[in-house]
Amino acid sequence: MKIKVGLIGFGRMGQFYLKEMQKSGQWDIVYICDVNTDALELAKLLSPESKTITDERIVFTDKNVQVVGLFALADSRKRQIEQAIQSGKHIISEKPVSDTIDKEWEVVNLTEKYDRFSTVNLYLRNSWYHQTIKQFIEQDEIGELAILRICHMTPGLVPGEGHEYEGPAFHDCGMHYVDIARWYANSEYKTWHAQGVNMWNYKEPWWIQCHGTFQNGIVFDITQGFVYGQLSKTQTHNSYVDIIGTKGIVRMTHDFQTAVVDLHGVHETLHLERPFGGKNIDVLCKLFADSIKTGKRNPRLPFIRDSAIASENAWLFLKDAHQHVLPAIGELQTLEEIRERRKHLKNGYGLLQSHRSVSYTHLRAHETDQYL
């Protein structure tokens, strides 16, 4: 029997969830809720069997709905999670789970006392490449894990393109990399030093490099920024993971189409190339559906606490960057040129599509890095 779900928020992420839930055959999308009429018109086109509504209370009060998907803005999620708990729904949430860290920890406390399942989309954990790499490390192929190096730089979202409630780029996108480093280290952050650049003379650093240590001694450096050739004729990006052990190494790169993993262990040397997989929402939805059907939480599902920890540390790293010299390089006029160019790009990184123009054919892998 299909699991009945109500989707709240039918912007970019809500559309991704609808697509994957429809493909899986495990979900009955009963409601799609959004306050934007253009979004609801699109919802009617893409999912005519769903009821399209503007009042989210209908989702929470319908006793037949088992799961709510919370994909609206971050400032709405704490209230919606509280309503979900009051109405006895399972919860799938986008990150962060609220718009301030204090509210995020309130959500953690609420969900950890709750007897239904809740999870958050920390999508990197569900990628085939990170799962493969972690398994290789756990087989003692590289010895003791010592150094984690993670980089993700694209000409993605610039200031004013969706970060209002999720913070600057290093929080909105970077918290995924803060999370995956902690996931690999299996430890909490201990020390850090962050350096940023106020690119285009914008008030917040849109590029940050942070390095430091975990409590178990593993060293990390994380580099993230949406500043990578914004006005270059042909856009490109630089994304990699480089993990160094006492005996061997593993590394990964991708082009948003194919991920390439090189495993250099003491017993095996492997070169793997497979489709990138995007945001892996299909995996998250399957793990969650299986958990509901079996009554046993899949251990691969992230907890709300994981999101709060990643969010809090990303904010701390941003705060640390502000404690050091923040060079202001460039001019705001350049930022305006970038914004204008992105309005007219048809093929680019993290482009925001209008509700009237978007369709599933537009949701291609290289256009889905709003939070990558």
Q: Examine the pLDDT at 307 and tell me if it is beyond 70.
A: yes
CA–CA dist 250, 129 (Å, integer): 11
pLDDT in tens, 233-282: 999 999 999 999 999 999 999 999 999 999 999 999 999 999 999 999 99
Q: What is the rounded CA–CA span in Å between residue 1 and residue 3?
A: 7
Please write the tens of the pLDDT for every residue from 30-57.
999 999 999 999 999 999 999 999 999 9
pTM of the model: 0.93
Beta bridge partners of 27: 3
Partner residues linked to 261 by β-bridges: 252, 272
Structure tokens at 286: 């399957």
- Angle, CA of 254, 133 and 282, to the nearest 5°: 65
Residue 368 confidence (pLDDT) above 50: no
In angstroms, the Cα distances linking 342 to 39, 156, 238 are 21, 9, 19
